[in-house]
Amino acid sequence: MNLLYEGKAKKVYDTGDEGQVRMEFKDSATAFNGQKRGEIAEKGIVNAALSARFFTWLSQHGISTHFIEQIDPRNLRVERLNMIGLEVVVRNSVAGSLHQRTGLPEGTALDVPILEFYYKNDALGDPLLNDDHIQLLALASPDLVARLRQQALRVNQVLRPFLLRCDLVLVDFKLEFGWNPAGDLVLGDEISPDTCRLWDSVSGERMDKDRFRRDLGGVEEAYQEVYRRVMQ
């Protein structure tokens, strides 16, 4: 199969079907817009399985995704999407850049989830955008922005209680959307400890890529523990 694209965490291959691609999950890890790089053992296997599990759960709750099937431990078959150039971030508690921008203590619970849009542009460092910036760059119409907001909040509504039953708090997460061959807006990319902040509901221990970002140690163990809890 021809390699169509290689990103920081995945490779995308042609399948011979115009409407489908194969997505291979890598063990490589990056942080701070690629300034920090490393490997997390079996990360690709964990993230492929978790993404398949989350996409299946979301589909069962009426949310359209690009997921078709898991081919093997590292590979998913998904719909080929025309991706929208925005990352949609949903925040349920203060952490990461929200802490840095507001000064509020990390872990502060938000009464209402905060939703943010970021420009998918590595050269610019994926900057935070407001609605006016999105219109200036012609990334999405006001109607599409409203649809993305609605869909992202719906994903949050479905995933939070699912993860809480696994003793995991969904602090925040990143989503990406695109248009499938039928012209429908669907959720794409992945959902994993790479794209979510997940904290143990009792101890508050970080169970996600922040362990890699902040050199906390126990990165592989955290990913494996999330896998164990979600897949059991």
Q: Cα separations (Å) of 162 from 29, 57, 135, 155, 208? A: 26, 9, 35, 11, 17
Domains of the chain, first to last: 3-79 (3.30.200.20), 82-218 (3.30.470.20)
Instruction: Kindly report, residue by residue over 117-126, the tens digit of the pLDDT.
Output: 999 999 999 9
Instruction: Kindly report, residue by residue over 47-84, the tens digit of the pLDDT.
Output: 999 999 999 999 999 999 999 999 999 999 999 999 99
Q: Is the pLDDT of residue 204 over 90?
A: yes
Distance from C-alpha of 198 to C-alpha of 222, rounded to nearest angstrom: 10
**What's the confidence (pLDDT) of residue 32?**
82
In degrees, to the nearest 5, what angle opens at C-alpha 174 toward C-alphas 138 and 6?
80
Query: What's the pTM?
Result: 0.95
Residue 31 has φ and ψ, to the nearest 5°, of: -150, 160
- Give the mean pLDDT of the chain: 97
Q: What percent of the chain has pLDDT over 90?
A: 95
Largest CA distance in the chain: 50
**What's the confidence (pLDDT) of residue 35?**
80
Q: Is the pLDDT of residue 105 over 80?
A: yes
**What's the confidence (pLDDT) of residue 107?**
97
Distance from C-alpha of 50 to C-alpha of 25, rounded to nearest angstrom: 11
**What's the confidence (pLDDT) of residue 166?**
98
Average pLDDT of 144-168? 98
